[in-house]
Chain A
């Protein structure tokens, strides 16, 4: 049975961008954890995004060809998940919660402040390439709402926080 390798029936093979050795090594590790290539698709996209910041059309094609998955199907996976970025993002992605608890605690006003501070709205990236602002439904920290993530870090009680100082540390120190 063809369980290991999916076969494609179509001629979707066009010379694609290549995957780097480190990416391939990580994808191959994931492959050992799943029964088939299709299941590895999402992990492979995350690996490429980790290394390149986002998933370009070329990267998508490279992953699809490497795993021998239909590219349309992999695009379905990539676009299903909000946190797979199919457009370039800034060096720091701000995931800003605008769900119920944060809304009660005034996230809309805070968001206006952030927008003022950075000069961007949801879905936009600052001109210096430092920040991209994206809404998320919940970050699991409702007792300290409103909350956001900047890169890997959670920031809480934003209504009382010094937003300027928070963003400053990412501008300078963590580039």
Chain B
């Protein structure tokens, strides 16, 4: 919740045993940090205390002589040096039993049919508190449930009114459409009417709710108990943040994703793309067998031999959505000189700049935990909620640092959640947004600067100059409001820990350079007294954009690869997990693929590139393979294989035949790419494992092992072997009971729910006992200088920029059934002025014409947008975005064109849809 540094320890006595605990904490948090079992409901490690449920009562004694003591709520009682308390005191035990009995009065007896059963905090606490017989024999309160959209089930009868759901959903995540209704015994947590929950973080309700009011609807449709799921520690592949997740598998299907604690990154929460966007792994169209151009199936050996055969005269295009080992194996197969990045031209330019800044000692790329500590933030052009949602949630916490300051001045401890919110009222640390329209962070922003992307860049350069005179000036303040720029400059300069955020999401390299200038200007202005690097968070687009960039030579762009093919300089092409039509103008991709003698595509789902390939090799999905990915910070993380793929699909590094084992691929990657040298640090230390043994992926209670394939063969098959990791596809062996970096499904005696994670942490909200996951790869080298202000663009026409959506912009999650239910169709967002000028109305089909392409999408008229910009969202339509060029013209499309775009715009959640829409 707040800073973790330099904690003062004091001694307190709990049940006659002396402990050292943190002085600025409360008794509940410290009891849990010590590993003691004290039941609770309303308290949450990330949301502090409100004292609502009364479940954590303990006895506190005034002094050594006091024999009677007083009952007190542990979560609301500050730690005092020398305090003497008792958890085991009979009165406290009795009180807690009474509280749970009253909380349980209307709770249904439906555990056997409840999705929470077996990992339910309420079950755990009920048992822990000793309430095992219901005396209440009156009528229970019952409720009507609501339809809350495709992600979340609602079963209000199970509610125990702890208020955690609304505290997370509205106070922590800023959602506005879930609230406590009514009062007393008929308190109800729901929307004002039925409808999909709007927050991008709604899925966390499943884990925040201590019982089964909010459950995972996707999981519910193909349900298994927690103990029947095979799991392993994994990494979310939905964006460049790299949140830690725990996928669960049963019967060969990926059933669900839950959060996996990481103290520096995602903590306890992930976004809905990450949680609900992996259905593509179970897609019916998954590529299963190697195929030639005619669609004829080849056997694996023949296919692998053909790949190696053509590799000698081939160039390869890597993938930002594939792991380092896959990219490196391909790089090794064709040689470094022939290995190209798979980025679009705009993204490549952004990535070049991002990686250059990552080596600059003036800057620090902050973790999510560090982002939360920023006391003044500037977001430049990046629509963070849609490109890196978990970062948006962190920025929302950063604005609360002003509240903590006010709390400090009133001597209110930070964990006193309601009191801190009360004293802060509307006071927030400044957050400024440079955007092309309204965003989902506007409600916590001090102000937004709205302009076209090039206009935003000019204003940002002007802002840098206002912060420090050494930064080059933009003429006429870049067209911005001088007073506003001054105010932003002042607030950023006055902050203790300012943060600048930009990213590759909108493909505007000048915005990244401007972000660099602003950060450098702030760093210079701090003077020689404080040379601490300045927080510059530059977001990368995909799970391994950073890793891929570290493996390619600067000149080896995708554009260069297409050029080599079209000119005949290269004969064959190997494409790794990449649909080139998403990355480059279609005409140029066509030209390259038509000229290439042989094209081999390795991918997991069919796409436009695999359709044109002469040989398609099926690869495993993220949960079916082991891989390392490098996130926006340059943090390499290991995603373990969770389950097996039963088709001919293999990890791409296996297809190349360069390496026999995963570790070989990883080690070779670390050795042969200088920036990857520390990659080996992500491998776990398995020296402490008993007998050098294997750890089970399946819990001890995993059921049906001998029966689950009995319909095929009554003989129990041999357990599959995993030669590549310390984990086994089995329930046998000693589970990693103390190590949550190896155990994805935390469990402790009496703690079956995810709340058991506290048993694996150093202390509450601290690192896991085995340390942070991952290794920070990037070394800071020589410093850079200010970038020049770009020349003003004289071109006319409407500026084209991509519009990102959490549901729909990421290629693979957009092929997941659940996500598709929340996707809008392809649209171009424009201002009401442009719409009127072109005779366009909201929802009508519009023809967008550019340099080398013309496409038809829906018009989305947004009141906050400036004129002169068109923000294009491709959704899952095959749109030639890159063929359009930098400027476009618009015209109404034929009347029936909108019919084909049948997803419509209803799923869009933006605040500025023009009136009458």
A residues contacting B by CB (< 8 A) are 1-3, 6-13, 15, 35-36, 57, 60, 70-76, 79-80
Most chain-A CB neighbours within 10 Å: which of B176, B198, B443?
A: B176
**B179 and A76 contacting across the interface, CB-CB below 8 Å:** yes
Smallest CB–CB gap between A48 and chain B, Å? 16
CA distance A1 to B909 in the complex (A): 25
Considering the complex, which residues of chain B in the window 476-498 have a beta carbon less than 8 Å from any beta carbon of chain A? Answer: none
Residues of B within 8 A of A75 (CB): 179, 181, 192
B179 and A73 form a contact (CB under 8 A): yes
Chain B residues in 8 Å Cβ range of A80: 181-183
- Known contacts A76-B179, A79-B181; is A1 also within 8 Å of B446 by CB? yes
A13 touches B181 (CB 8 A): no
Given contacts A2-B426, A75-B192, A9 and B179 within 8 Å (CB-CB): no
Identify the closest chain B residue to A73 (Cβ): B179
Docked pose: A71 CA to B195 CA in angstroms: 13
A13 and B442 alpha carbons, distance in the complex (Å): 16
B700 at interface by CB-CB < 8 Å: no
Chain B residues bordering chain A, tally (CB within 8 A): 32
Q: Are B428 and A8 in contact (CB under 8 A)?
A: no
What CA separation (Å) do A3 and B427 show in the bound complex?
A: 8
* Cα separation A9 to B176 with both chains bound (whole Å): 7
If A7-B443, A9-B443, A11-B910 touch, whether A72 touches B176 (CB-CB below 8 Å) is yes
Count of A-B contacts judged by CB separation below 8 Å: 73
CA distance A72 to B192 in the complex (A): 5
Return the contact of A72 from the options B191, B908, B910, B913 (Cβ within 8 A).
B191
Mostly helix, strand, loop or mixed at chain A's interface? loop
Within 8 A of A (CB), among B419-441: 425-428, 440-441
Tell me which residues across on chain A come within 8 A of B446, comparing CB atoms. 1-2
Residues on A with C-beta less than 8 A from B909 are: 10-11
Residue among B198, B428, B441, B916 making CB contact with A10, cutoff 8 Å: B198
Q: Say yes or no: is B695 at the interface (Cβ < 8 Å to chain A).
A: no
Task: Give B167-183 as 1s and 0s: 1 = Cβ < 8 Å from A's Cβ atoms.
Answer: 00010001111111111
B193 contacts the other chain (CB 8 A): yes
Establish whether residues B181 and A1, one from each chain, have CB atoms under 8 Å apart when the complex forms. no
Kindly state the separation between the CA atoms of A1 and B447 in the bound complex, as whole angstroms: 9
How long is the Cα–Cα vector from A8 to B175 in the complex, in angstroms? 9
Q: Look across to chain A and name the residue whose beta carbon is closest to the beta carbon of B181.
A: A79
- B175 contacts across to A, CB distance below 8 A: 10
Out of B179, B182, B440, B441, name the residue touching A70 (CB < 8 Å).
Answer: B179
Which of A2, A3, A8 contacts B176, CB < 8 Å? A8
Query: Does chain A have a CB within 8 A of B911?
Result: yes
B192 adjacent to A13 (CB under 8 Å): no
Determine whether the beta carbon of B911 is less than 8 Å from that of A9.
Answer: yes
In the complex, the answer to whether B911 meets A72 with C-beta atoms within 8 Å is no
Cβ–Cβ < 8 Å partners of A11 in chain B: 198, 908-911, 913
Nearest neighbor of A15 in chain B, beta-carbon distance: B916
Report if A1-B192 is in contact (Cβ < 8 Å); known contacts: A72-B176, A73-B176. no
Give the residues in chain A near B191, CB-CB below 8 Å: 72
List 19 contacting pairs A-B, 8 Å CB cutoff, sorted by A.
A1-B446, A3-B426, A9-B440, A10-B909, A10-B911, A11-B910, A13-B913, A57-B193, A70-B170, A70-B177, A72-B192, A73-B176, A75-B179, A75-B181, A76-B180, A79-B182, A79-B188, A80-B181, A80-B182
**B916 contact set on A, CB distance < 8 A:** 15
Q: How far is the CA of A11 from the CA of B914 in the complex (A)?
A: 11
Interface string of B148-191 (1 = CB under 8 A from A): 00000000000000000000001000111111111100001011
Q: Nearest residue in A to B188 (C-beta to C-beta)?
A: A79
Contact between chains at B179 and A1 (CB < 8 Å):
no
A86 to chain B, nearest CB (A): 10
Q: Closest residue to A35 on the B side, CB-wise?
A: B425
- Tell me which residues across on chain B come within 8 A of A15, comparing CB atoms: 916
Contact B179 A8 (CB under 8 A): no
CB contacts (< 8 Å) of A60 on chain B: these are 192
Chain B residues, CB < 8 A from A35: 425
CB distance from B797 to the nearest CB of A (A): 29
User: Chain B residue with minimal CB distance to A74?
Assistant: B192
Given the interface pairs A1-B426, A1-B428, A3-B426, the reply to whether A10 lies near B176 with Cβ below 8 Å is yes
- Min CB distance B807 to A, Å, is 14
Cβ of B346 to closest chain A Cβ, rounded Å:
28
State how many angstroms separate the Cβ of B361 from the closest Cβ of chain A: 36
Chain B contacts for A73, CB-based, 8 A: 170, 176, 179
Given A10-B909, A35-B425, A70-B177, 4 more contacts at CB 8 Å?
A10-B198, A11-B908, A72-B178, A72-B192
Which residues of B have CB within 8 Å of A57? 193
Chain A residues with Cβ below 8 Å from B427 are: 1
Instruction: Please measure, in the bound complex, the distance between the C-alpha atom of A6 and the C-alpha atom of B425, giving whole angstroms.
Output: 12
Q: Which residues of A contact B181 (CB under 8 A)?
A: 75-76, 79-80
Question: Closest chain B residue to A82 by CB distance?
Answer: B183
Which A residues lie within 8 Å of B441 (CB)?
9
* Closest-CB distance, B633 to chain A (whole angstroms): 27
Contact with A along B483-521 (1 / 0, CB 8 A): 000000000000000000000000000000000000000
The closest CB in chain B to the CB of A36 belongs to B426
Complex alpha-carbon distance, A79 and B192, angstroms: 10
Query: Please, how many angstroms separate the alpha-carbon atoms of A35 and B179 in the complex?
Result: 22
Q: How far is the CB of A19 from chain B (nearest CB, A)?
A: 17
Contact partners of A36 in chain B: CB under 8 A? 426
Contact with A along B431-461 (1 / 0, CB 8 A): 0000000001111001000000000000000
A12 to B198, CA, bound (A): 10
Separation of A83 and B193 alpha carbons in the complex (Å):
21
Inter-chain contacts of A10 with B (CB < 8 A): 175-177, 198, 909, 911
Given contacts A75-B181, A75-B192, A80-B182, whether A9 and B908 have CB atoms under 8 Å apart is no
Q: Does A70 lie within 8 Å of B176, measured CB to CB?
A: yes
* Given contact pairs A70-B179, A71-B192, A76-B179, A7 touches B442 in the complex (Cβ within 8 A): yes
**Cβ contacts under 8 Å, B176 to chain A:** 8-10, 12, 70, 72-73
Give bound CA distance, A3 to B441, whole Å.
Answer: 16
A74 to chain B, nearest CB (A): 8
Most-contacted residue by chain B among A2, A36, A75, A76 (CB, 10 A): A76
Check A72–B183 contact: CB distance below 8 A. no
Question: In the complex, which residue of chain A has the Cβ closest to the Cβ of B442?
Answer: A7
**B178 (CB) vs chain A CBs: closest residue:** A72
Distance of A71 from chain B, by nearest CB (Å): 5
Contacts A7-B442, A10-B909, A60-B192; is A72 near B426 (CB within 8 Å)?
no
| Residues of chain A within 8 A of B170, CB atoms compared | 70, 73
Q: Which residues of B contact A2 (CB under 8 A)?
A: 426, 446
Contact partners of B182 in chain A: CB under 8 A: 79-80
A1→B910 CA distance, assembly (Å): 22
A73 to B175, CA, bound (A): 11
Q: How far is the CB of B215 from chain A (nearest CB, A)?
A: 20
Q: Which residues of the other chain, A, contact B911 by a CB distance below 8 angstroms? A: 7-11, 13
**Chain A: which residue is nearest B428 at the CB level?**
A1
How far, in angstroms, from A85 to B807 measured CA to CA in the complex?
39
Using CB atoms, name the residue of chain B closest to A9. B443
* A142: min CB distance to chain B, Å: 22
A65 CB to closest chain B CB (Å) equals 12
Interface centre among A10, A71, A72 (most CB of B within 10 A): A72
Bound-complex Cα distance A57 to B191 (A): 13
Contacts of A71 in B (CB 8 A): 177, 192
- Distance of A75 from chain B, by nearest CB (Å): 4
Q: Which 8 A-B pairs have the closest CB atoms?
A: A70-B176, A72-B179, A76-B179, A75-B192, A79-B182, A7-B443, A9-B443, A79-B181
Which of A57, A70, A74 has the largest count of B CB atoms less than 10 A from its CB?
A70
Quote the shortest CB–CB distance from B179 to chain A (angstroms). 4
**A73: min CB distance to chain B, Å:** 5
Nearest Cβ in chain A — how far from B614, in angstroms?
A: 47
Which residues of B lie under 8 Å from residue A79 when comparing CB positions? Answer: 181-183, 188
What is the CB-to-nearest-CB distance from A44 to chain B, in angstroms, rounded to a whole number? 16
Q: What is the distance, in angstroms, from A62's C-beta to the closest C-beta of chain B? A: 13
Closest to B183 in A: A80
**How many Å lie between the Cα of A71 and that of B178 in the bound state?**
9
